[in-house]
Structure 1
Amino acid sequence: MPTIQLPNAGWRPRWYQKKAWDTWEQGCKRQLLFWHRRAGKDEINLNMHAVSAHERPGTYWHMLPEAAQARKAIWNAVNPHTGKRRLFEAFPEPLIENMNDNEMFIRFKIGSTFQVVGSDNFNSLVGSPPVGITFSEWALAKPAAWAYLSPILEENGGWASFITTPRGNNHAKSMLDEVKKDAFDRVTNPAGWFWEVLPVSVTEAMTAEGIDKQRKIYVGLFGQETADLLIDQEFYCSFAGALVGSYWGAEVARAEREGRIGRPIAVNPAYPVHTVWDLGKASNNPIWCFQVIDGTPIIVDFYLPDSEDLADWCKWLDDQGYKGNDYVPHDIMHPQWGTARTRLQTLKDHGRKPKMVGIASFADGVNAGRQTIKLARFADNERVADGIEGLKAFRREWDDDKKCFRDVPVKNWAEHYASAFRYLGLAWREAIVAVVKPAGDPGTYEARPDGSIRSNQTVKEAVDAMVRRRRAAR
């Protein structure tokens, strides 16, 4: 058999890719690359997998936001310039032992495996834990994927590469902000992070005419304003603007500007903490936890179960002291998974207080969520931040035939986060604590420690009493 060299077929990084490639070869195990569209992000990472799989036998994943998207963009993709599958441009076919098309899986003769996966189903994959992962289109991916996988790579010394174009001020931008705090020095800190933002104005990989042509396409599809945002985002790596097609992106962005997101908020023990459920399986059943204080919804926590046992979910909420109402959709009357009992009965058996949210259309739920975001305050804990990313990423499907957005949500991880929040939007006003008139003589006044005077009368009672006094004085 002829000698095969890697990278395959004499591939070499383009000049502007070379810094990222060199730092990876020198031992950098964490990369965050914001490169413009068509800068060759997946290309360089597929070659990283090919080399790494033959230097260190193990499991390697190339992860996109959704498994279906991964099949189209990587597994079945063909290079239009060569007519060859992208996979085989990076992976020489003589090195491949076998392939499984259904699972988008490759086994190399050396023993390593490579799989194309989605961040929507990564935790259902079986087999050895990965030692090398590419998170492609990271700004659109489920942020919990990294939270779940980072300890694995930390333990086994594996590498992770995050490649993306910006998609507004979301989890990918937050990661960049954190990484930039510790400048990477490839001499003294070879195991640290390497980050890079590469707009087309730096790489000059596309001509002005080519970008203008793309702008005109976007104008025809989305209008001038959105087209300009997309060009700035995809080609000039701008982080301004919300995700195109987002239901609530503008409202979340406004809440961030107004300081209603990310500020320390302690749970107020004088008010109950209520919960809102979507009632799917564990990964599809996010739970928002909130209080209502002075007529304002306060989002204090967000819980994404990691077990399929509803009893575990109840225990977690009880352990946090969250024992208010549990607002749930009407399918709570369906039998619990694998039993004849309804989930309503199971919740009650565990001491919870389920209340069904009124039936509303999808559009009404979306609007209720939107109006709630305009009022709400969100705590700064890590779990709530994960939930907020779901609100930002909740977006409409694009109809490629009609060239417009459909009023149907993309069925991904964010849709589940948003479903629970739609119920929160419909339910939180029911949780407003009623104002109870203080006990005691309604005619007396109380001097308070702060120097103020408080009456035990309501306004109506005080007015009625004044009227009676005036009549008696006549």
Structure 2
Amino acid sequence: MTRQVKPRAAKPRRTAAVDVHLYAPRQHQADLHRQLRRFNVLVAHRRFGKTVFCINELIAKAAANGRAEARYGYVAPLLTQAKDVAWAYLKRFTAPIPGVSVSETELWVDLPNKARIRLYGADNADRLRGLYFDGVVLDEYAQMNPRVWPEIVRPMLSDRQGWALFIGTPMGRNHFCTLYEQAMLEPDWFAQRFPASETGILMDEELSAARRAMSAQAFAQEFECSFAAGVPGAYYASMLEQAELEGRIGRVPWEPRLPVTTAWDLGIGDATAIWFAQVLGQEIRIVDYYEASGAALAHYAKQLSERPYVYADHLLPHDVSVREMSSGRTRLDTLRGLGLKVRVLPAQAVEDGIEAARNLIPRCWIDAGRCARGLDALRLYRPEFDDKRQAFSQRPIHDWTSHAADAFRYLAMGLKTPVRRQNEPAAESIYSPFTW
């Protein structure tokens, strides 16, 4: 439930260790500082002041921490984004503290009590492994790889019983939406949503001007914090939304009498993504998805062997045939040596693959549980936005969503399906109906 608040300024915030006199929080910000629990999810509209709020929460907690070498982190989707958005604020609000030290190259600030606050980027989240946090902010979590929290950041909090604050604006019904909905049900979590129409931070005239200038979808997402609004420009979001409405995303049982075809996007020092599909006539059942990073090819072969599937082809992109300089072998040689029946796809334009994926999705039934991470990526896969032309480019953004999306393109381009003749009835399902 969202609480109506008035946009009046509160008194400058004081802690037991330092007077952060440059920070005068708005009333709703001051209320939030008092309400936060160990785990927190805040969904906030643009111009809410979330970065200033988060930086000062980190400073106050770090300054009051009496533990030796306390560590706090601010994580943005990209390290460059963290530097552009938060670094100036961190230096500004710690500058009045006597004895503070700053590292411009490493993007950290040390307080007199030896507590350190440092900026990180989720684009290189594996760099965080082995560290610990007393507290961490994950800003714009909707834009991060879903594995950053459960696999990397959450274990970093265990030794010190550290806290976490997720904050950002929605980007469709992805992992940030799931986290917010789960937090609403957890007694030890705090969750709140702040649409611009209720906070009173932005004047009505400004909101009206923004509404006129933006699409209804973009305004609902950016200012009204709507998870229902699709991501502007996303290639597959509307098609997946239609699939949900038609009941084609839910629990899709694996059929033992059908072979499974996999499609891979192979990363080198990056994520590898694998989709698992079964074909019955014109019906495509996406029954599983797997993704990992930094693992050898033998790891993925083991993952396949541990599943109960009988495999047909394993579809891989053309660059799997490129020889490695160190060994002179190709990854194709390695995979075949591991016993996999690999089919190498010819090089294709990305635009052709996206169109093939768009043609495939209306025929797909997708398991929502086993494919959750892959679905999140497909919903967010989108083109770059050209600020100069004020238009989307033809080139997709390369981020954490790319691996799942590329593998799905290969599935669409390489999956062998029967061609139905005109007026020919669809094949009868082996079992019916689906159980959701």
TM-score class normalised by the smaller sequence: 0.7 to 0.9
Cα deviation per residue 1:94-142 (whole Å; 9 max; x = unaligned)? 44333142x4333444333322222221112366222311111122222
Q: TM-score, normalised by structure 1?
A: 0.79
Give yes or no for the alignment of 1:339 onto 2:327. Answer: yes
Match of residue 397 from structure 1: 384
Please tell me whether the aligned partners of residues 166 and 173 of structure 1 are also in contact (alpha carbons under 8 angstroms). yes
Structure 2: tracts of 5 or more residues without a match:
1-14, 421-436
Q: Could you tell which deviates more after superposition, 288-297 or 241-250?
A: 288-297
Secondary structure of 1:374's partner? helix
What's the counterpart of residue 242 of structure 1?
230
Distance 1:337 1:4 in 2: 58
2:75 is aligned with 1:63:
yes
Residue 366 of structure 2: aligned partner:
378
Mapping of 1:197-236 within 5 angstroms?
A: 197-218=193-214, 227-236=215-224
Residues 384 and 154 of structure 1, relative CA distance in 2, 3 Å threshold = farther
Aligned residue in 1 for 2:7: none
Alignment-mate amino acid for residue 125 of structure 2: F
> Per-residue deviation at 1:429?
2.5
* Residue identity in the other structure for 1:140: Q
User: Residues 213, 429 of structure 1: CA spacing in aligned structure 2 closer, same or farther, 3 A cutoff?
Assistant: same
Selected match of 1:174 from 175, 178, 188? 178
**How many Å apart are 1:216 and its aligned residue?**
4.3
Please name the residue that 1:292 is paired with: 279
1:123 is aligned to 126
Residue deviations 1:424-462 (CA, integer Å, cap 9, x gap) = 1111225x699xxxxxxxxxxxxxxxxxxxxxxxxxxxx
For residues 23-82 of structure 1, what are the alpha-carbon distances to aligned partners after superposition, in whole Å with 9 as ceiling and x for unaligned? 22xxx111111111111111111011112223334222211122232222222xxxxxxx
Provide the aligned C-alpha RMSD in A.
2.4
The match for 2:398 is 411
Q: Which residue of 2 aligns with 1:113?
A: 116
C-alpha distance in structure 2 between counterparts of 1:369 and 1:108, whole Å: 52
Judging changes above 3 Å, is the alpha-carbon distance between structure 1 residues 98 and 198 closer, same or farther for their aligned structure 2 residues? closer
Question: Secondary structure, in 3 states, of the residue corresponding to 1:49?
Answer: helix
Which whole-Å CA distance do the structure 1 matches of 2:113 and 2:292 have between them? 38
Q: Residues 20 and 194 of structure 1 are in contact (CA less than 8 Å); yes or no, is this contact kept in structure 2?
A: no
The CA distance in 1 between the partners of 2:312 and 2:132, in whole Å, is 39
| Matched-pair identity in % | 30
Correspondence 1:140 to 2:143: yes
Task: Give 2:27's match in structure 1, choosing from 15, 23, 32.
Answer: 15
TM-aligned CA distance change 1:122 to 1:96, over 3 Å:
farther
* 1:50 aligned onto 2:46: no
- Per-residue deviation, 1:197: 0.9
**1:328-387 deviation digits (Å, cap 9, x = unpaired):** 000011124842210010001000111012332111100111122221111132x41011
CA contact (8 A) 2:74 2:137 kept: yes
TM-score for the superposition, normalised by structure 2: 0.85
- Count of paired positions: 400
* Structure 1 or 2: more helix by fraction: 1
- Is the Cα contact below 8 Å between 1:7 and 1:50 reproduced in 2? no
1:337-376 paired onto structure 2 within 5 Å: 338-376=326-364
- Looking at structure 2, the residues matched to 109 and 127 of structure 1 have their Cα atoms a distance apart, in angstroms, of 25
CA distance in 2, matches of 1:266, 1:433: 24
Separation in 2, partners of 1:131, 1:393: 31
Q: Residue 223 of structure 1 corresponds to which residue in structure 2? A: none
Kindly report which structure 2 residues correspond to 1:144-159, keeping only aligned pairs within 5 A, or say none: 144-148=147-151, 149-159=153-163
Residue in structure 2 matched with residue 30 of structure 1 by the alignment: 39
Gap runs ≥5 in structure 1: 76-84, 185-191, 219-226, 435-474
Contact kept? 1:281, 1:308, Cα under 8 Å = no
Write the letter of the residue equivalent to 2:363: L
- Is the 2:71–2:135 Cα contact (8 Å) retained in structure 1? yes
Q: How much does 1:282 deviate?
A: 5.3
